Structure formats: structure tokens, C-alpha cells
């Protein structure tokens, strides 16, 4: 098994993380341990993966109570996948949330579209937060 840095240092892994793909965020209900998986937009900065999320959905409520999360990014042709695991840090500083969420949204819709609704209001919404994952484990596979 490769170590985290060996996995994340592979060229194909870096290329996959640089694409605006849909990721799947996994959280777990702290009372029942029931897994919960939801699609999310993300940005990888070379060390951390950031996800913009509002405070009311289940994924955020669970991450606040149980910060153990997993994030899967994959494509099916050819099949390639990256799984990141670790403890989430929830960023609430409005300046940092605005900066990070603007960057995340621009990856998916373009820098011109984030100046329009609904993205414009999402960036400054007081309920917006950033889920930041500095992975403690990383797995990657392709075939």
C-alpha cells in the first residue's frame, strides 16, 4: 500500500484533482453511525480539499458533530478514483469563506457566472461555511 504522499504525488492523481468533477462527501450520523453520502463541488490546493456547504443540511450538521469524513472523486472512462479520509475543519470566517467559495464556484461555472445569482448570494450567505479536509489517508486506483 502506498503512503498518502506517494498517492497524492502521482501525476494522474494531481490531474484528476485539478478537474471540476463532482465529488462525493461521506459523513456519518453521530448517534446511529448511519453513513450519509452527498455530491459536492470541491477544490484541491495541493494539501487540502475544500467544499462549500451551508450549515443546515445534514452533511454539515454531521461534520460539525463527527468530523471524520471521506471524499471520493472518480471517473468511469477509464476508471480512476481517489479516496481521501480524515478530520474536517469547519471554516466560518466570512472573508475566508467568501474567498474559498468564490474559487470553488468559479471552477464549476466560470468566473463570469459567479457574479450572477444564485452564486453571488451563495458566496456572501451568512450560513455558508467551508469544510476543509487535510487528508490523513489517501487511496487511488485506476484500471
Q: What pLDDT score was predicted for residue 65?
A: 96
To which residue does cell 450560513 refer? 127
How high is the pLDDT of residue 104?
98
C-alpha 15/C-alpha 68 separation (Å) is 26
131 Cβ contact list (under 8 Å, min separation 6): 25, 50, 51, 52, 53, 59, 60, 63, 69, 88, 89, 90, 91
Whole-number mean pLDDT of the chain?
95
- Report how far residue 118's alpha carbon sits from residue 96's, in angstroms, rounded to the nearest whole number: 19
Kindly indicate the confidence band of residue 3, based on its pLDDT and cuts at 50, 70 and 90. confident
- If one counts every other C-beta atom within 10 angstroms of the C-beta of residue 3, the result is 10
**Percent over 90 (pLDDT), the chain:** 94
Indicate whether 108 belongs to any domain: no
- How many domains does the chain contain in total? 1
Confidence of residue 129 (pLDDT cuts 50, 70, 90): very high
Question: What is the residue range of 65's domain?
Answer: 4-92+126-142
- Residue 62 CB-density burial (10 A; 0-12 exposed, 13-18 middle, 19+ buried): buried
Asked if residue 119 is part of any domain, the answer here is no
Using CB atoms within 10 A of its CB, is residue 68 exposed (0-12), middle (13-18) or buried (19+)?
middle
| Residue 133 counted as domain residue | yes
Residue 138 lies in a domain: yes
* pLDDT at residue 1 in the model: 58
Mean pLDDT score, 73-99: 96
CATH number for 70 = 2.30.110.10
Amino acid at each position: 500500500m502506498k503512503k498518502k504522499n506517494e498517492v497524492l504525488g502521482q501525476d494522474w492523481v494531481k490531474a484528476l484533482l485539478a478537474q471540476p468533477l463532482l465529488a462525493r462527501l461521506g459523513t456519518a450520523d453521530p448517534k446511529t453511525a448511519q453513513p450519509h453520502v452527498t455530491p459536492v463541488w470541491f477544490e484541491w490546493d495541493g494539501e487540502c480539499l475544500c467544499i462549500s456547504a451551508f450549515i443546515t443540511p445534514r452533511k454539515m450538521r454531521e461534520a460539525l458533530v463527527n468530523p471524520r469524513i471521506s471524499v471520493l472523486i472518480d471517473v468511469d472512462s477509464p476508471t480512476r478514483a481517489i479516496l481521501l479520509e480524515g478530520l474536517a475543519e469547519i471554516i466560518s470566517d466570512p472573508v475566508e469563506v467568501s474567498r474559498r467559495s468564490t474559487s470553488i464556484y468559479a471552477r464549476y461555472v466560470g468566473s463570469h457566472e459567479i457574479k450572477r445569482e444564485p452564486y453571488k448570494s451563495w458566496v456572501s450567505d451568512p450560513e455558508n461555511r467551508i469544510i476543509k479536509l487535510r487528508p490523513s489517508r489517501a487511496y487511488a486506483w485506476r484500471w
